[in-house]
Amino acid sequence: MKSSLSEKVYLTIAVIVLWFAIGLQFNLSLNTLNDDVWATLKIMLSFFTVLSNILCAIALTVILLFKNSSVGQFFEKSSTKAAITVYIVIVGIIYNLALRGLAVPSGWHSVANELLHVINPLLVLVYWIFFANKSNLEYKNAFTWLLYPLLYIIMIIVRGIMINKYPYPFINVVELGYPKALLNTLIILIVFYLVSVLFIFAGKRQSKA
C-alpha cells in the first residue's frame, strides 16, 4: 500500500521532531556529565521514556525511507505500529499522572522533557489514528506486546542489583523494598495490557467503520 502525500508529510515532521528531542536530551545529558559519552548513554538508555522514543523514531524513519525493505514491512504491520503507539502513549500517561512535578526542569531541559513525554507521544498517537492500518489487530497481540516492558523491567532490576540505582521511583527497590517495587511493576504491566486491549478494540472498530 502506497503512502499518501499527507502521510509522508506527517511522517517527515514526526521523524524530525522525534530525533530532535532525542538529540537534544542526549546533548543536555552529555553536558551535565562533562562530555562523557559512555556515561551519558548508560543513563539515557536506562529510561523507558528514551528507549521508547528511540523505538518510535527508528520505526517511523524506516517507514518513511525504507518502507519496501524487510525491516520496513515489519514496522508496517498493524500489530507493530499499534504496539509502539501503546508504548509511547503509556510513557506520556505515566509521566503526566505519576511523575510530573517530582522534578522541575527549566530552559532547554524543559523543552526536551515536554517533547519526550508529551509532544512525541501525541505525534505517534495521531499518526496511528489517521494513517496506520488496523485491519489485522487481534486481542492476543496484547500478550505479545508485554514482552518489551517485561524485558525492560528485568533489565532495570538486574541493573539495580549491580549498581543500586533505579531510574524511576516506583521501581526503586532501595527505597521501597522488593515486595512494593514488584507490586508496582505488576500494576504497570496490567496497565500495559489494558491499554493494549483498548487500542485493539478501538483499532477494530475504526477498521470496520
pLDDT tens-digit profile of 120-147? Answer: 999 999 999 999 999 889 999 999 999 9
pLDDT at position 100 is 85
Query: For residue 1, is pLDDT > 60?
Result: no
- DSSP 8-state secondary structure symbol assigned to residue 3: P
Any idea which residue has 536530551 for its cell? 25
pLDDT at position 113 is 95
pLDDT band at 2 (very low <50, low <70, confident <90, very high): low
pLDDT at position 3 is 65
Determine which helix (DSSP H) or strand (DSSP E) holds 172, and give its type and residue range. none
- The mean pLDDT value for 51-57 works out to 98
Contacts by 107-110 with C-beta closer than 8 Å and gap 24+? 108/24, 108/28, 109/28
Share of the chain above pLDDT 90, in %: 83
Helix then strand then coil, in percent of the chain rounded to 5, is: 80, 0, 20
Residue 149's contacts (CB-CB under 8 Å, 6 or more residues apart) are: 48, 87, 188, 189, 192
- The mean pLDDT value for 99-113 works out to 89
